[in-house]
Amino acid sequence: MKRVLQIVNYYYPHLGGIEQVARDIADSIKSLNDEKEYYEQKIICFNEDADDGKKKCKRAETAADTVNGIDVIRCGCITKKASQSISLSFGKKLKEIMRTFNPEIVIFHYPNPFEAVYLNRYLNDDFKLILYWHLDITKQKILGKIFHRQTMRLLERADHVIATSPVYIDGSPYLSQYRGKCKVIPNCIDEKRLAVTEEIKKEADNIRNQNRDKIICFGIGRHIPYKGFKYLVEASKYLDDRFRIFIGGKGELTEELKAQARNDEKISFLGRISDTDLIAYYLAMDIFCFPSITKNEAFGIALAEGMYFGKPAVTFTIYGSGVNYVNINNETGLEVPNADCRAYADALRKLADDKSMREQLGKKAKQRIEHLMLKKHFAENIQNLLEQL
């Protein structure tokens, strides 16, 4: 029985891209146990206010529970600095786990500077270290400089470094120095969560009927700067009335985006939407809009989901980002110069004018996701990596 410890910022029921990857890893390892009974797992993370209707977590509490049969230790937080949770209990809990659980494999989700401070104390211990590299620290430049030596030590110590795309390895000043350690494991979509029911088909038909003879464009994500929704709103100004643009999600920029789109009847803001509504819009849309602009968008799960429904995507060129690995220009969608709103509008017009192109690119988009980025592919990649260790 091998013992695996994951160290991650947060965990379910808190929802986020990194948290979902950590859960996908745990599920992938657990599926090995169904065949071999080979791995025991624990997860340590910060606590965060979250509630899925069954499990409720509170940021300030240090608590332990289980998710899908896996032990999760959540360390209470007293504050946040530079988007990093600060916990008085994390160091103590990690020390306890390292002594009593004695993991043979540690999977550390980067970037995570505060937790890395404590992990560094155990880097001389005898365990295999997998550094799961989600993204470079780009926004908090001072923080990145402060923790540069810590990051280099983690990379030196790591047995394997997981990157989500070869593009990110090429564009990262850190990963490009450690190519020999890097393994590419693309993130995955959960096709079971995206299953289409008769009810969803009817909802999609209603959306299409309400927008008859229109080109339906759909985008979804948090309304924060790097997601680039202001560029999509700006691009709408260069489009004619054939288009309808639906933007899902919420965030710190929601009201600013609504003000920017005032008097533009082509744009509708949907707010946070259920999985049922999300799938209905994926079905109803003609084009998926993914206007992220920086390397903070390291991959793009929503982008992969939109492509899974056989629709072409329009993305910006982002040097070093996996976005342009997920969506291939002129093969699965269109790619335009970064933050160029006119070029983005031109790409939408080009797809609107050519139904055959939309269908051809959409077909290739679906094939790309089904070939590389389903949950079964992710599980196989994780399992193969563990077996190599």
DSSP-derived letter for residue 335 is: E
- Separation between Cα atoms, residue 297 and residue 294, nearest integer Å: 6
Residue 36 confidence (pLDDT) above 70: no
Tokens standing for 328? 């291939």
Average pLDDT over residues 29-58: 87
- Give per-residue pLDDT as tens, 122-164: 999 999 999 999 988 765 556 656 678 999 999 999 999 999 9
Q: Give residue 85's pLDDT.
A: 86
Residue 320 confidence (pLDDT) above 70: yes
Q: Which comes out higher in pLDDT, residue 15 or 98? A: 98
Average pLDDT over residues 269-290: 96
- Give per-residue pLDDT as tens, 222-245: 999 999 999 999 999 999 999 999
Q: Give residue 379's pLDDT.
A: 93
Average pLDDT over residues 176-185: 96
- Separation between Cα atoms, residue 369 and residue 115, nearest integer Å: 33
Q: At what angle do helices 275-284 and 198-210 cross, to 10 degrees?
A: 50
Judge residue 359's burial from the number of C-beta atoms within 10 Å of its C-beta, 0-12 exposed, 13-18 middle, 19 or more buried: middle
pLDDT band at 37, cuts 50/70/90?
low
CB-CB neighbours of 81 under 10 Å: 10
**CATH top class, domain 2-188+375-388:** alpha beta
| Mean pLDDT, rounded, of the chain | 94
CB 316 within 8 A of CB 344: yes
Q: Give residue 389's pLDDT.
A: 83
Q: At what angle do helices 301-308 and 275-284 cross, to 10 degrees?
A: 60
pLDDT band at 53, cuts 50/70/90?
confident
pLDDT band at 98, cuts 50/70/90?
very high
Q: What are the domain boundaries of the chain?
A: 2-188+375-388, 198-372
- Give per-residue pLDDT as tens, 334-375: 999 999 999 999 999 999 999 999 999 999 999 999 999 999
Q: Give residue 388's pLDDT.
A: 86
Judge residue 188's burial from the number of C-beta atoms within 10 Å of its C-beta, 0-12 exposed, 13-18 middle, 19 or more buried: buried
Same fold: 2-188+375-388 with 198-372:
yes
Tokens standing for 137? 């620290």
pTM of the complete model: 0.88
Give the homologous superfamily in CATH for domain 198-372. Answer: Glycogen Phosphorylase B; (3.40.50.2000)
- Separation between Cα atoms, residue 327 and residue 300, nearest integer Å: 9
Query: Phi/psi class of residue 323: alpha, beta or left (left: φ > 0; alpha: ψ in -120 to 50)?
Result: alpha
- Give per-residue pLDDT as tens, 62-94: 999 999 999 999 999 998 877 788 899 999 999
What percentage of the chain reaches a pLDDT higher than 70? 97
Tokens standing for 276? 């049922």
Q: Give residue 80's pLDDT.
A: 83
- Give per-residue pLDDT as tens, 186-220: 999 989 999 999 999 999 999 999 999 999 999 99
- Separation between Cα atoms, residue 33 and residue 119, nearest integer Å: 27
